[in-house]
Amino acid sequence: MVHMDCVRKAHSCTTDPRKAAQEFHAMVSQPGMSLVIFFCSSEYHLDALAEEMKHLFGEVLVVGCTTAGEIGPAGFRDHSLAGASFAGSHFRVVAGQVDHLQQFEVDAGQAFAQSLLHKLMAEGAPADVDNSFALLLIDGLSLREEPVTRAFQTALGRLALLGGSAGDGMKFDKTQVYWDGQFCSDCAVLVLVVSRMPFRIFKTQHIVATEDRLVVTEADASCRVVKEINGLPASQEYARMLGIDASDLNPARFAAWPVVLTIGGTTYVRSIQKANADGSLTFFCAIENGLVLRVAKGVDLLQNLEQAFAEIRAEIGPPQLVLGYDCILRKLEITQSAARERIGEVLQENNTVGFHTYGEQFRGVHVNQTLVGIAFGANAVETSHV
C-alpha cells in the first residue's frame, strides 16, 4: 500500500521571513505531524522567522538550521526556506539539544544519546538497525563535529547517524541551529526516528586519490589548522603539488583538489576551507600531526550522482523523499559545471530536500565534500509498527 502523504516537502523562495514561514507551513502542514525539519538562509531575519515558525507549528517538534544554500522542489537556491514534515502515523520521533559545545564532554554526550534512545524505547517504539536512524544538525563553526559525532554514534550502536553542519553562505561568521522556537549557536540537535517507511542511508563522493602524498608535519587539530606539510609551509607545499603558485589558491582550487585520508580501506575526504596569510591551511575538519594524506581529484559528479540514485531506486524504488546534506565545496563545483542544470534535475526527480553544509556526518565520522542522506521509499513496511 502506498502512503504518499506521510511526508510532505516544501520550498519557499520569498525573502520575507514571515511570509516564507507561512508558505512553508501551508505546504507541509498535515494532521498528526511528528517532526518538521527545515533548512534556511542565514540572510533571513532569524528572530522573525523563528517567531513565525513557533506561532504556526505550535507544539509540533520542529528542528532546522542555517545553510550555505538550500535544496528543494525549487532546485538549488540561496535565501530560501526548504524542508519537510513527517506524519506520526509512520514516524515515531524523539529529539534533544546539546548546548555549550565548547565544553562538550564525550561521556556526557554518550549519556545524552543513550537517554534519547531509552525514551524512544519507553514510548513503545522498538528501535533497531532496520527501522531506525538518527539525524544530527550542528553548529558548523563550533569545530566540535568530530567528538560530538563519535560520542553519539558510540552510544547509538548500530543505528546509523547522519547529519550536516550548519552554514551561513560563504561568510563563515555565525551558523545556527533551530530548537524549541529559537536559533542558537554552539549547539547541536539530535533526532532519533523509528520509521514504517523503507529507507536507505547513503554517502556518495566523486573524489579519487592520486599518488601524491602529503605528510602533516605540524598541525593544530583543535583549530583545524595545518601549518606544515612535508616539512614546508602548508599552503606552499599544497600549491606545489598542484603545480601552481600559493597566491593562486582559492575555494575553486580547494573544491577541485581536496585531500583524502584512508581509514580501514575506506577513503574520506578532508577539504580545505582557506589559505591563511601565515602560510597555513584551515580545513573543514580536524587534521592531526603525522597523518598521511593524498591529493585527490574529482571525477564526473553527475555520473556519480546518477549512479547513487540508481542504486537507491533499485533497493527501495523511487524515493518519495530524500533528505540530503551536500558539502559547500560540491556546491561551488556544481555552480561552475556545465552539467549544473542536469544535476539539479536529478535531485528534483528524486524528491531531494536538504542544504549545502560546512561538513557532513556519516556513521560516526565527520566528512567533507560528500553528499550524505537518507532516502525514503513509498511503500510502508506493514510488519513493523510505530
Specify the DSSP class assigned to residue 303: H
| Domain encompassing residue 370 | 7-204+302-376
Let me know whether 366 and 273 are in one domain: no
Do the beta carbons of residue 325 and residue 372 sit within 8 Å?
A: yes
Let me know whether 169 and 31 are in one domain: yes
Tell me what the mean pLDDT of segment 258-268 comes to: 83
Question: With pLDDT > 90 as the criterion, what percentage of the chain qualifies?
Answer: 83
Cell numbers for 232: 614546508
CA distance 28 to 274: 38
pTM as predicted: 0.92
Tens of pLDDT along 19-53? 999 999 999 999 999 999 999 999 999 999 999 99
Dihedral (CA of 66, 298, 347, 200) sign: negative
Let me know whether 250 and 132 are in one domain: no
Tens of pLDDT along 111-156? 999 999 999 988 776 778 889 999 999 999 999 999 999 999 999 9
Let me know whether 27 and 147 are in one domain: yes
pLDDT band, very low/low/confident/very high, at 384 (cuts 50, 70, 90) = very low
Let me know whether 146 and 44 are in one domain: yes
Which alpha helices (H) appear in 184-316, and where do they start and end? 234-242, 251-256, 301-316
